[in-house]
Structure 1
Amino acid sequence: MGCCVNRTDLGLLALRTAVGGVLFAHGTQKLFGWFGGGGLEGTAQGMEAMGFKPGGQSALAAGLGEAGGGALLIAGLATPVAGPVVAGTMVGAAAVHFPHGFFVTKGGYEYPALLGVCGLSLGIAGPGRLSLDQLTGHRLNRPWLGVLAFGAAAFGAFSVVCKRERGLRDAAARAMEGEPE
C-alpha cells in the first residue's frame, strides 16, 4: 500500500481524522457526557431550550449524527454517506447560531458551517486509499449511496429546522399574547 499512497491520500486522511475527530468528540459529549458534555439528559434539556422538540429525540439524533458521522469519516468507511450525515447534522447546529451572524466570536454559525462543508466535501471527494472503504473494495463507497444520503440528509435537516422555526414562532406569539408555554 505504501507505494500507492500519494499526497492526496495523506491529505484526505489528515482532513478525515481532524474533522471526524472533532465531530466524534462533540457527539460523545451529547450521547455519553464524555469530554465534559451533558450526556443525553443534559443535551435533551439544551435542545428543548434551543427549540428542538422533543429534546430527547433531538439530542439522540444530533449525537448519533456527530459521533457516528465522525467515526465513519475517521475510518473512511461509507464516506459518501458519512459526509451528508455530518452536513445535515451541522445544518441544525448552524440554524441555532444563524441569528448571531457568521463569525463564531459573536456566536455565529461559522464553526458548524465549516464542519458541515468539510464533511460534505469529504463525502464527495471520497476517503482516499488510506481508508476502510479502500480495504473493503469500496462496497460502501458508491456514488448512488452519496446521492441517496444527500437527499435524505437534506430532507431531514430541512424538516428539523422548519419544525424548530415554527415552534419558536408559535412560542413567541404565545408570549406576546401572555399565554404560558
Structure 2
Amino acid sequence: MDTQANLRENALHDITHWGIRASIGAIFIVHSLKKFDPSWQEWLISIGLPPELQIPIALAELIGGILLVIGVLTRITGAVFAVILMGAIFHIRWENGFFVSKGGWEWDLVMLAAVLAIIAAGPGRVSVSHIAKKIPRYLQ
C-alpha cells in the first residue's frame, strides 16, 4: 500500500530522472548546432578524422538529444552517446590530461557517467516510451 510519502518520493524520483535525461539531451542538442558549421569540418580534418563524419555526428547529437528529452529509444541513444564520448575522451582529449581547464577529459567523463546511468535506468515514467507503452522494452 502506497502512502502519501511514498507517492511523493516516487514522483520526485521520476522528475529527477527526467531532469537528468533532459539536461544531458539539451547539452547534446546545443553542442550539435555548432557541428553543422563548416569550420567544424575543418577541425575534424585537423585532428585526423574524415570530414565526412561532420553531418553524421551533428545529426546523431541533435536527434539523439531530442530523443533523450522526450524519452524515446533512450538506451540506444545513450549507447550512441557513450561511443561519441569515449571517442572524445580517448581520441581528442586524453593527451591534454584530466582537467577541463587544460582541455582535458574531465567533463566528458561526467557526461559519460550520466549517459551510462541513463542506459541502465532506461527512459523512466516521465517519457513518451512510458506513456505510449507500445515501444518494446529493449528499445526503450
Corresponding residue number in structure 1 for 2:31: 26
Cα deviation digits, residues 68-108 of structure 1 (max 9, x gap): 22111111111111110111111222220110111101110
4+ residue runs over 6 A deviation: none
Aligned residue runs from structure 1 range 32-111, under 5 A: 39=37, 41-53=38-50, 55=51, 57-94=52-89, 95-111=91-107
Once the two structures are TM-superposed, the CA of residue 46 in structure 1 deviates from its matched residue by 0.7
Tell me if structure 2 keeps the 8 A contact 1:65–1:89.
no
Taking a change above 3 Å as real, the CA distance of residues 48 and 141 of structure 1, as seen in their structure-2 partners, is farther
Q: Which residue of 2 aligns with 1:160?
A: none
Identity rate of aligned residues, in percent?
A: 27
Aligned Cα RMSD in Å? 1.9
Query: Structure 1 residues 88, 78: closer, same or farther in 2, change over 3 A?
Result: same
| TM-score, scaled to structure 2 | 0.84
Give secondary structure in 2 for the equivalent of 1:6.
helix
Q: 1:75 to 1:140 in 2, by over 3 A?
A: farther
Unaligned residue ranges in structure 1 (runs of 5+)? 32-38, 147-181
Q: Deviations over 1:114-142 (max 9, x none)?
A: 22221222022112111011122151541
User: Partner of 1:136 in structure 2?
Assistant: 132
Instruction: For 1:138 and 1:101, locate their aligned partners in 2 and report how far apart those are by CA, in whole Å.
Output: 45
SS of the equivalent of 1:28 reads: helix
- Aligned residue in 2 for 1:178: none
Q: TM-score, normalised by structure 1?
A: 0.67
* Count of paired positions: 132
CA change 1:89–1:141 in 2 (3 A) is: farther
Give the distance between the partners of 1:28 and 1:42, measured in 2 at CA: 12
> Which amino acid is the alignment partner of residue 74 of structure 2?
T
CA 1:116–1:6 in 2, change beyond 3 Å: closer, same or farther?
Answer: same
- Which segment is superposed worse, 9-18 or 118-127? 118-127
Unaligned runs of 5+ in 2: 1-6
Structure-1 separation of matches of 2:135 and 2:21: 19
Query: How far apart, in 2, do the equivalents of 1:61 and 1:43 lie?
Result: 13
